[in-house]
């Protein structure tokens, strides 16, 4: 019995000595954490080690992302849009201050009226128009082809001051000579886009139509005046640059030409302008027509309806 007790005491002592060593060995082995599959919650990835933002912060983050995505989509839409895709019908207008106009008959006629020494030499004179205004509409059949209708207003005002002189035994004081010619044309034809980018396009237009010209003669001493008119044909060609600045409008730069051919200017009584007028009692060399041509540069805009 005594031996049994001694053996048990010895075994307990040995176990007590060995237990701390085992505990230390277990603590020395590093603990590998369990791998946690990432979870997406409110657009925030929870990897198991990153704290999920509070609900209010997550909602704010979502709102910012949605707003940014919307801005990107709108920007992409503007860059990818083309002017003619926005509307079937557009309205355009333009004006020109840089142009060259030549009307041989009117040049010679006014030179004769103001007693210039070589009226025939003035036929080749080139002057600028005093007014050039256009207003038109375009019907787009496809992205690159359209039909346009356009009204043009052109005006050329001749005037000069003649000093005192004696004509046919009559002395006239200083006087002013005026000749106003206004052109009204209605044109129609095709419009073709020949180059296109996201915000720019270059288009060519050619048209044909009717022309109506009004003439007005005036001489201040003696105070006399007469009116005349003529009809004819007008032909146009334009090479225009269309800069798409906003969704609903474009800025245009137009290189244009107009050729107008008319009959003789006639008064309401049916007579032409070859008869004498005012101080000029003699017959003029020719019965002037209002034919002329002009080319130049115009600026304007287009509105998409």
Mean pLDDT over all residues of the chain?
Answer: 81
- Residues 139-149: what's their mean pLDDT? 93
CB distance 238 to 215 below 8 Å: no
- Considering the four listed CATH numbers 2.40.160.20, 2.40.170.20, 1.20.1250.20, 3.40.50.300, the one that applies to the domain covering 79-304 is 2.40.160.20
What is residue 16's predicted lDDT score, i.e. its pLDDT?
A: 52
pLDDT over threshold 90, residue 65: no
Q: What percent of the chain has pLDDT over 90?
A: 51
Question: What is the C-alpha separation between 95 and 132, in angstroms, rounded?
Answer: 6
Q: Is the pLDDT of residue 288 over 90?
A: yes
Would you tell me how many other CB atoms lie within 10 Å of the CB of residue 126? 12
With vertex at residue 153, the alpha carbon angle to CA 147 and CA 159, rounded to the nearest 5 degrees, is 155
The predicted structure's pLDDT at residue 25:
44
pLDDT digits (tens, 9 = 90+) for 5-48: 555 565 555 555 545 544 444 444 455 454 455 555 555 455 55
Sign of the dihedral through C-alpha 121, 126, 130, 136? positive
pLDDT in tens, 76-87: 554 444 444 556
Residue 230 token pair: 């003529």
58: enclosing H helix or E strand: helix 55-80
Highest-confidence segment of 34-43, 61-70, 105-114, 225-234: 225-234
Q: Where are the beta strands (DSSP E) in 173-199?
A: 175-196
Q: What is the pLDDT of residues 158-170, one digit of tens each?
A: 998 887 666 666 6
Return the structure tokens found at 229: 């008119």
61 has a pLDDT exceeding 80: no
Q: What is the pLDDT of residues 194-244, one digit of tens each?
A: 999 888 999 999 999 999 999 999 988 778 899 999 999 999 999 999 998
| Rounded Cα gap, residues 305 and 297, in angstroms | 26
């Amino acid at each position: 019995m005594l031996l049994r007790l001694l053996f048990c005491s010895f075994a307990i002592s040995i176990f007590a000595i060995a237990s701390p060593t085992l505990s230390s060995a277990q603590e020395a082995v590093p603990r590998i954490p369990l791998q946690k599959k990432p979870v997406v919650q409110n657009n925030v990835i929870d990897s198991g080690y990153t704290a999920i933002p509070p609900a209010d912060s997550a909602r704010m983050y979502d709102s910012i992302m949605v707003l940014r995505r919307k801005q990107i989509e709108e920007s992409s839409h503007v860059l990818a849009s083309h002017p003619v895709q926005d509307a079937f019908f557009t309205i355009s207008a333009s004006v020109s201050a840089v142009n060259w106009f030549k009307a041989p008959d009117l040049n010679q006629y006014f030179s004769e009226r103001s007693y210039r020494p070589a009226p025939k030499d003035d036929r080749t004179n080139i002057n600028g128009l005093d007014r050039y205004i256009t207003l038109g509409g375009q019907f787009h059949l496809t992205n690159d082809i359209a039909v346009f209708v356009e009204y043009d207003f052109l005006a050329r005002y001749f005037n000069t001051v003649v000093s005192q002189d004696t004509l046919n035994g009559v002395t006239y004081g200083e006087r002013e000579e005026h000749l106003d010619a206004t052109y009204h044309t209605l044109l129609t034809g095709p419009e073709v886009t020949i180059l296109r980018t996201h915000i720019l396009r270059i288009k060519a237009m050619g048209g044909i139509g009717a022309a109506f010209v009004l003439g007005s003669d005036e001489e201040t001493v003696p105070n006399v005046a007469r009116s005349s008119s003529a009809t004819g044909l007008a032909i146009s060609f334009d090479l225009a640059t269309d800069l798409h600045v906003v969704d609903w409008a474009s800025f245009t730069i137009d290189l244009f030409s107009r050729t107008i051919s008319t009959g003789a200017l006639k008064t309401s009584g049916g007579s032409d302008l070859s008869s004498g007028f005012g101080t000029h009692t003699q017959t003029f060399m020719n019965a002037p027509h209002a034919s002329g041509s002009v080319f130049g540069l115009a600026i304007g805009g287009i509105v998409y309806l």
